[in-house]
Amino acid sequence: MKIALDAMGGDFGPPNLVAGAVMALRDYKQISKLYLVGDSAKVENELRKHQCNDSRIEIVHSTQVVDMSDRAWTAVRRKKDSSISRAVDLIKRGDAEAVVSAGHTGAAVAASTIKLRTLPGIDRPGIAAVLPTETNVFVLIDAGANIDARPEHLLQYAFMGTVYSRHVLHYKNPTVGLVSLGDEDVKGTELTKEVFKMLRPSSLNFVGNIEGRHLFENPVEVVVCDGFVGNVILKTCESIAVAMFQWLKHELMRTRMRQVGAFLAKNAIGTIKDKTNYEEYGGSPLLGVNGICIIAHGASTPLAVKNALRVAAESIEQQVNPHIVEEIRRYHETTAPLEPALS
């Protein structure tokens, strides 16, 4: 497997990215080639720190970086030699099978969309983030790729999320919920009301509108929303989990008795902590582009980078794209005579 890592993006730049790459190469023998794309002097410097001279590494020099304050589409058009653009070029040329970026999410989405194009039947890609509850694991799509979503985009997300849930998470008939303000059909924005009308007659296992509270109380397997809302949900969930464990830790340290209790119960707390730790998930696939692009956290630790590379390797194995194309083709075949607006 050949993977390209944008070695410049992310809040912490080359140090965390290269450290994560070194960890991944140690653990994942299935990676046969790892392109580290970025300023070669900086990348080499980091590799030296880790005394790493793994022959599977190939440094691809690039002179530019998309800054977090850049506008995504403009940056991809103007900064031709940015690390993210060069990394995506490697897929386009067939040198790499997947790209991983912890940099500017919008730029990774724009570069993938412009260079790789979207899959047939897909208008805009969406980020599929996987989140755990006590009783299941769900796909949140879109977690932040597309903030100007139109109804058909959300419909496509529902299909892509279902394919992902079925083929990667192994749910046979995943339930799909649309994020809105209440269970009732009439609740929501113009956008969600339109999407509701399109999802109801579809072949998907659509359960209707869901509220934020249903994410954890009565979880569904696929949660559909626009990228702004999805990003807010994702970031809120992650930070609450972190904050609550922090808080719990401080409370547990306040008396000797609590400390003993914490020691005896530490496995219970650890189980949940690991399961809710975003670093373990590493990265989320950008579904809908004609290639594999994994979006990692901006604040990725080396462990998170390593796991994002694992997600990339798994995505190469799983190959969900043909299934997405097939599912969307079938939808258009069955609904072509009955356009949603006329049904």
Distances, alpha carbon 218 to alpha carbons 196, 221, 223, 241, in Å: 19, 10, 12, 18
Is residue 173 a contact residue for a copy of itself (CB under 8 A)? no
Q: Which are the contacts of 162, defined by CB distance < 8 A and separation ≥ 6?
A: 174, 176, 204, 205, 222, 327
Rounded Cα–Cα distance for residues 32 and 39 (Å): 22
Segment lying near a copy of itself (by CB under 8 A), choices 111-119, 178-186, 280-288, 324-332: 178-186
Question: Of 46, 49, 42, whose CA–CA distance to 65 is shortest?
Answer: 42
Among 148, 317, 333, 339, binds a copy of itself (CB under 8 A): 148
Among 78, 120, 173, 247, binds a copy of itself (CB under 8 A): 247
Segment lying near a copy of itself (by CB under 8 A), choices 62-70, 117-125, 281-289, 308-316: 62-70
Is residue 77 a contact residue for a copy of itself (CB under 8 A)? no
Among 147, 173, 332, 334, binds a copy of itself (CB under 8 A): 147
Residue closer to a copy of itself by CB (options 114, 272) is 272
Is residue 137 a contact residue for a copy of itself (CB under 8 A)? no
Q: How many residues bind a copy of itself (CB under 8 A)?
A: 69
Is residue 229 a contact residue for a copy of itself (CB under 8 A)? yes
End-to-end CA distance of the chain: 46
Strand-pair partners of 294: 100, 285
Is residue 338 a contact residue for a copy of itself (CB under 8 A)? no
Distances, alpha carbon 331 to alpha carbons 84, 136, 263, 324, in Å: 33, 27, 54, 11
CA angle 245, 250, 251 (to 5 degrees): 95
Residues that bind a copy of itself (CB under 8 A): 68-71, 105-106, 133-134, 144, 147-148, 179, 181-189, 211-217, 225, 227-229, 231-244, 246-248, 250-252, 254-255, 257-258, 260-269, 271-272, 276
